[in-house]
Amino acid sequence: MEVIIQPDAESVARVAADVFTDYARRESATLGLATGSTPLAMYLELIRRHRDEGLSFARCRAFLLDEYVGLPRTHEQSYYRFIRDNFTSHIDIPDDDVHSPDGLADDPTAAGLAYDRAIAEAGGVDVQLLGIGTDGHIGFNEPGSSLRSRTRLKTLHPQTIADNARFFGDDESQVPHHVLTQGLGTISDAGHLLLLATGSGKADAVAATVEGPVSALCPASILQFHQHATVIVDEEAGSGLANADYYRYAFENKPAWQHI
């Protein structure tokens, strides 16, 4: 695992955008997209590069990590709509190539299986962007999630409902209680995991992810098992890392040929 500590959230976004830019320049790439507030600055930077520097996503396709159950794609808080509004409608990725779990499916179990099949048929996700919850969740795999889980229905933890109420007029009763999320096994199948965290509220979760035991209690700790996992944090989110000096040293002394 590579841990990159940046001075602030803007630099986190820039470094993450550099990684995504490298994938977008490939002959074709399958991007795994996350919602939430953390990746927004990276999406803005990619939109700017598309507009000002001609960065094209025309040969990319995308799979979202998760979706609320019960919200149509047109609902302004559905994750499909969120990604469209904040990223994909501002770049040249074909609309039909942006996929999300079907939150309105009559049979969520079948919808989860179908989603995993679609990812596999696309050749797998090349780079999966991840945010992290204050309780260590990735996607919506709350603490206790099976480390090999596949895309399936999950019940949100009350803490996550409270955290996300800000997107629903600060009204927790408006936040759907169920979601379809890529499982930890599904996420682990991606070729490269790129986890971003900013702000002091994420410091404990980041420390548990990087330096704690691999445990279902901190779902993000599965990154420790992945052969290509990158964690990019700002100083605040990295403030709980015991080995911070070594991560800085390793990044500064990275061989020029070795990409992130």
Supply the residues annotated as catalytic: 66, 135, 137, 142
- 43 C-beta neighbours (distance < 10 Å), count: 23
User: Residue of minimal CB distance from ligand F6R?
Assistant: 131
Taking the complex as a whole, the smallest distance from the CB of residue 186 to ligand F6R amounts, in Å, to 12
Taking the complex as a whole, the smallest distance from the CB of residue 249 to ligand F6R amounts, in Å, to 28
Distance of CA 94 to the CA centre of its chain: 20
Q: Where are the beta strands (DSSP E) in the chain?
A: 2-6, 29-33, 60-64, 66-68, 98-99, 127-130, 152-155, 178-181, 192-197, 229-234
- Whether residue 174 contacts residue 165, with contact meaning beta carbons closer than 8 Å, is answered with yes
DSSP 175: S
Taking the complex as a whole, the smallest distance from the CB of residue 255 to ligand F6R amounts, in Å, to 31
Nearer to ligand F6R, 56 or 215 (CB): 215
Nearer to ligand F6R, 223 or 242 (CB): 223
Nearer to ligand F6R, 58 or 128 (CB): 128
Taking the complex as a whole, the smallest distance from the CB of residue 38 to ligand F6R amounts, in Å, to 3
Nearer to ligand F6R, 138 or 153 (CB): 138
Q: What angle do CA 55, 56, 58 make, to 5 degrees?
A: 175
Q: Which positions touch ligand F6R (CB under 6 A)?
A: 34-38, 65-66, 131-133, 137-140
DSSP 170: T
Residue 114 C-beta-side C-alpha neighbours within 13 Å: 13
